[in-house]
Amino acid sequence: MFDIRYRYTVCMVIWGTMIAPAGAQQSPQQVLSAIVAVRSIVPSDARTASTLGTERTGSGVVIDDDGLVLTIGYLILEASSVSIRTRDGVEADARIVAYDHATGFGLVRANKPLDVSKLEFGRSANLKTGDPVLAISSGGPEGVRPATVVDRREFPGYWEYLLDDAIFVSPPHPLFSGSALLGPGNTLVGIGSLIVGDAVPGTDTGPGNMFVPIDILKPILDSLVTTGRDPKPRRPWVGVYTEEHRGRVFVTRVAEDSPAARSGLSADDIILKVGQAPVSGMAGFYRTMWGLGEAGITVPMTILRQSKMFEVNVKSVDRYNWLKIDAGRLTAAWHAEANSIQL
């Protein structure tokens, strides 16, 4: 393990090469101040408590002048309380503003001024393989890690989640949850989501991080802040956790009390078709299911179980209605909307 001061020096050199040559620019110290620690407490009976834990910690990024913090959504999902801490040790309770399942982003707002600089958005679409970046978690210089973009590709998550153009960097940052990915001009181009073993394409021994690109937040940010939700129609959700092998989609687990569970799906089932469309891969499974319509539609599936095929109809729901979200901590608009939706 090399010396933190040496790593910091290396990072500052790389940082210098990333600063845009023209225009006002935030200093490294200002950028570091915008990266805050995020801590949440989740009730033990929450849907995600058994998989994500009841106490979650990570990082977030201040993105406006009124204490709005962008983080990865699973850190705050179903939380009963959230707090943030700045690099200078200022602590503040925070209110959950939004959680967006489609992108994976989460937003919270501090209940008092943080007196830190906000981080400006960059353009994640401009990042390409080979570009130098910085992955930064809370805590100051020791949270700064130089990395390289090693791939841009779609990312299907086992929890009915899909990114069309995720950012993969290497080497991995160990404190990736909610960490900031900085590109040219000290701008924010991504938020840390996962550590993966196959960041480098064509290998299963190339560990790295997957970052959610900032560009997919921009069109929905205003709606998330004002209503807590993306304005697009709600996607159907059935509650299966899957993995892919040679194009086959295997069910590894079924969420408790989910549409899939109520329809009799179980671990080790293989999803062969959605409707009349053959399923090839997790991304294809999701796109076909979402293409049927909005949450609430029935998803017809052909399942292979113990060498026997059978048909099952799964009545989907909006995942937000299955989660145990404390609507009182969300915006009033989202609260009203959530109460008006019937399963």
Give the tens place of pLDDT for each residue, 114-168: 989 999 999 999 999 999 999 999 999 999 999 999 999 999 999 999 999 999 9
Q: Where are the domains of the chain?
A: 1-232, 240-317
Within 10 angstroms of residue 45's Cβ, the number of other Cβ atoms is 10
- 113 pLDDT band, cuts 50/70/90, is confident
DSSP 8-class letter at 317: B
CATH of 240-317, one of 3.50.50.60, 3.40.50.10540, 3.40.190.10, 2.30.42.10: 2.30.42.10
Contact in structure between 76 and 233 (CB atoms under 8 Å): no
Average pLDDT over residues 216-244: 96
Whether 175 has a pLDDT exceeding 80, the answer reads yes
Q: Look at residue 223 in the predicted model and tell me its pLDDT.
A: 97
Q: Look at residue 25 in the predicted model and tell me its pLDDT.
A: 66
Whether 337 has a pLDDT exceeding 50, the answer reads no
Q: Look at residue 16 in the predicted model and tell me its pLDDT.
A: 56
Please calculate the CA angle 234-106-54 and round it to the nearest 5 degrees.
Answer: 105
Q: Look at residue 19 in the predicted model and tell me its pLDDT.
A: 47
Helices (H), 38-90: 49-52
DSSP 8-class letter at 294: S
Sign (positive/negative) of CA torsion 231, 73, 53, 96?
negative
Q: Look at residue 340 in the predicted model and tell me its pLDDT.
A: 37
Contact in structure between 256 and 241 (CB atoms under 8 Å): no
* Helix, coil or strand: residue 124: helix
Whether 277 has a pLDDT exceeding 70, the answer reads yes
Whether 215 has a pLDDT exceeding 60, the answer reads yes
At 74, give phi and psi (nearest 5°): -65, -15
Which residue's structure tokens are 């796109």?
Answer: 287
- 26 pLDDT band, cuts 50/70/90, is confident
Average pLDDT over residues 235-261: 97
Q: In 113-246, where do the E strands start and end?
A: 132-136, 144-157, 161-170, 180-183, 187-196, 208-213, 240-245
Average pLDDT over residues 17-34: 69
H-helix or E-strand containing 38? strand 35-41
Does the domain made of 1-232 have the CATH classification 2.40.10.120?
yes
